[in-house]
Amino acid sequence: MLKTKEVEFNYDNQMFFKFQNIDLNSNENLLIIGESGVGKTTLMHLLAGLLKSNSGSIKLFDKELNQMSSYQLDSFRKNNIGIVFQRPHFVNSLTVKENLQLAQYIANKNDNTRIESILKNLNIFEKSNKKTNQLSQGEKQRVSIALAIVNSPKLILADEPTSSLDDNNCSKVIKLLKKQATDFGAQLIVITHDSRLKKHFKKSIEL
């Protein structure tokens, strides 16, 4: 399902990253772990099609990302990938529900029952009509998970979802992510420096 080969990336000829090959089958989750500065975020952006590698190949769901145009990547992303960011981002002028509706609109979908069921599943349904800046940190994280899964992606990419959390919450969030992925039939790739997560994944690679 994901196969990378000899992926290289450099920022303005200053920072150079060469990533090890990844081979992930369908129905497998993956933990990518690495210290700061080894290019974790870069790798995640490459996998999400937000960046293009300088050389090598990234094959995701049998599509070669390096051969796609920026427009094709946008379209590929909205149909296949949900992203959970380290720090949750939202459209601040919209409510929780409207943020999810916007995500659906972008993917040409319109399904309020799905939004409701996701919010209920994440226990934040009662916050539907709140502006996102009225939410607590934990609620924000859950809404950002909701945003990542609202369009039924086949792959959820999570960037440092637990770095700022204590052990208890760390375990909660990762379980929640895994549960959402399973519930909605998606695969999960977590990229982190947080070694506490190792025990939650059968498959992991170290950068």
Render the burial of 106-134: b for 16+ CB within 10 Å, e for the rest.
ebeeeeeebbeebbebbebeebbeebbee
Taking the complex as a whole, the smallest distance from the CB of residue 202 to another protein amounts, in Å, to 27
End-to-end CA distance of the chain: 20
Sign of CA dihedral 18, 23, 27, 29: negative
Taking the complex as a whole, the smallest distance from the CB of residue 25 to another protein amounts, in Å, to 25
Taking the complex as a whole, the smallest distance from the CB of residue 11 to another protein amounts, in Å, to 9
Taking the complex as a whole, the smallest distance from the CB of residue 187 to another protein amounts, in Å, to 18
CA distance linking residue 76 with residue 18, whole number of Å: 24
Strand 2-11 relative to strand 155-159, pairing: unpaired
Residue closer to another protein by CB (options 98, 194) is: 98
Binding residues (CB under 8 A) for another protein: these are 41-42, 45, 48, 50-51, 70-71, 74-75, 77-79, 83, 85-87, 89-94, 98, 101-107, 147, 151
Residue closer to another protein by CB (options 142, 200) is: 142
Return the structure tokens found at 98: 């409207």
Residue closer to another protein by CB (options 159, 200) is: 159
Taking the complex as a whole, the smallest distance from the CB of residue 36 to another protein amounts, in Å, to 12
Residue closer to another protein by CB (options 147, 165) is: 147
CA distance linking residue 102 with residue 97, whole number of Å: 9
Residue closer to another protein by CB (options 73, 177) is: 73
